[in-house]
């Protein structure tokens, strides 16, 4: 399967506004709503693109950790599968470096991470060692990464149509508390970021008007981050690389601003551990690694790039299980309402 230019344009539109109506999409992209809906259904069924939502992982409200794992070589597939089954572990990647696997973990708080998740890691046969770095601030997340195949005018029009879910709360904001009755909606939005109130109401056996109100509150709460994902093989950027770096304490915000200006960046965060800043990029080829290292060093004075790690395979990305070719299997194993902090 290959994606057409029209496929990429549609995906780019949903990256900007994940819950965009097909009629609004047609006004910007040109095309009939039913044609666009059918195109999207085909992409989803092929696992080439999908919309999802996930807990923001904001360190003010929950615990986001990055865990390096070593395992016995002949048991690596078993360890990978066991880790991917844990809902708190939202991303599992195989690394070409001095660690076998890298994990992204979201828990309610540090206590849950320490007393509930880590003991389960120790029980996995073949897992021999792990090392943890905790995120103290997220500067850039994957929801903001774009294909950039649309014109600036089209992108601007789509941003004007985007709902509150398209722009998660900033670092100074606090997620609004959600009543318990609203939390049942979260798993449906993880499996389909475009799930409608009618879809959810039917599944839950609730009144559609009630669910519509509840959905509006969930979308506006800032508890969830919505995104449109694309199978990496179709993105034009098949190589994932992560840099572990040190940045002077007073330069993290400046480093974040400069990182946002580099279109390849999918994630940047301040962390604890052996280094205090991490950057993840998607690149067109391994030949771009040196070029991007120079770009980062030129844009961020004082940054020390300690280590670069190329990912060989992604078994699970933000809750979604992936095939070896990076397409989605359709299975979702993600943290849901039970992992929300008290009061959220």
pLDDT tens for the chain, 344 residues: list them.
899 999 999 999 999 999 999 999 999 999 999 999 999 999 999 999 999 998 888 898 889 999 999 999 999 999 999 999 999 999 999 999 889 999 999 999 999 999 999 999 999 999 999 999 999 999 999 989 999 999 999 999 999 998 766 666 554 445 557 888 898 999 999 999 999 999 999 999 999 999 999 999 999 888 888 999 999 999 999 999 999 999 999 999 999 999 999 999 999 999 999 999 999 999 999 999 999 999 999 999 899 999 999 999 999 999 999 999 999 999 999 877 566 555 44
Work out how many domains the chain is built from and give that number: 1
In this prediction, residue 55 carries a pLDDT of: 84
In-domain check, residue 313? no
Of residues 278, 277, 282, the one with CA closest to residue 265? 282
In-domain check, residue 192? yes
Give the 3-state secondary structure of residue 251.
helix
Asked whether the beta carbons of 100 and 71 are under 8 A apart, the reply is yes
d(CA 292, CA 110) in angstroms, rounded, equals 34
Quote the tokens at residue 232: 């990496």
In-domain check, residue 231? no
Answer whether 0.75 is exceeded by the pTM.
Answer: yes
In this prediction, residue 166 carries a pLDDT of: 64
In-domain check, residue 28? no
In-domain check, residue 208? yes
d(CA 220, CA 217) in angstroms, rounded, equals 5
> What's the length of the chain?
344
Number of Cβ atoms within 10 Å of the Cβ of 137: 17
In this prediction, residue 342 carries a pLDDT of: 54
In-domain check, residue 198? yes
Which residues have C-beta within 8 Å of that of residue 115, sequence separation ≥ 6? Answer: none
In this prediction, residue 168 carries a pLDDT of: 61
d(CA 265, CA 78) in angstroms, rounded, equals 31
In this prediction, residue 258 carries a pLDDT of: 96
In-domain check, residue 187? yes
Domain extent for 197:
176-221
The CA–CA distances, whole Å, from 67 to 76, 126, 143 equal 16, 16, 21
In this prediction, residue 300 carries a pLDDT of: 94
- E strand map for the chain: 49-55, 63-71, 89-96, 101-107, 127-140, 224-230, 239-246, 265-271, 277-283, 304-317, 320-322, 328-332
In this prediction, residue 343 carries a pLDDT of: 45
Strand partners for 104: 66, 91
In-domain check, residue 189? yes
């Amino acid at each position: 399967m290959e994606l057409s230019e029209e496929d990429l344009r549609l995906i780019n539109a949903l990256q900007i506004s994940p819950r965009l109506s097909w009629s609004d999409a047609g006004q910007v992209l040109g095309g009939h709503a039913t044609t666009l809906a059918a195109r999207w259904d085909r992409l989803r069924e092929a696992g080439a693109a999908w919309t999802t939502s996930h807990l923001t992982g904001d360190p003010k409200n929950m615990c986001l950790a990055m865990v390096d794992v070593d395992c016995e070589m002949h048991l690596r597939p078993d360890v990978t599968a066991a880790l991917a089954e844990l809902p708190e572990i939202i991303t599992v990647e195989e690394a070409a470096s001095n660690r076998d696997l890298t994990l992204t973990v979201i828990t309610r708080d540090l206590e849950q991470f320490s007393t509930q998740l880590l003991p389960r890691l120790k029980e996995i046969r073949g897992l021999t060692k792990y090392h943890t770095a905790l995120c103290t601030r997220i500067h850039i997340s994957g929801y903001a990464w774009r294909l950039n195949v649309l014109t600036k005018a089209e992108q601007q029009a789509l941003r004007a149509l985007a709902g509150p879910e398209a722009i998660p709360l900033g670092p100074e904001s606090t997620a609004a508390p959600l009543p318990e009755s609203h939390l049942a909606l979260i798993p449906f939005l993880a499996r389909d970021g475009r799930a409608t109130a009618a879809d959810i109401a039917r599944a839950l056996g609730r009144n559609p008007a009630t669910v519509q109100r509840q959905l509006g509150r969930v979308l506006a709460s800032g508890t969830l981050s919505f995104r449109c994902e694309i199978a990496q093989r179709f993105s034009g950027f098949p190589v994932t690389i992560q840099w572990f770096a040190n940045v002077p304490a007073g330069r993290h915000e400046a480093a974040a601003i400069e990182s946002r200006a580099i279109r390849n960046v999918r994630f940047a965060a301040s962390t604890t551990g052996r280094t205090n800043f991490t950057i993840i990029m998607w690149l067109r080829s391994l030949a771009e690694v040196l070029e991007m290292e120079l770009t980062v060093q030129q844009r961020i004075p004082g940054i020390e790039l300690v280590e670069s790690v190329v990912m060989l395979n992604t078994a699970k990305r933000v809750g979604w299980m992936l095939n070896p070719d990076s397409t989605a299997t359709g299975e979702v194993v993600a943290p849901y309402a039970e992992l929300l902090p008290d009061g959220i």
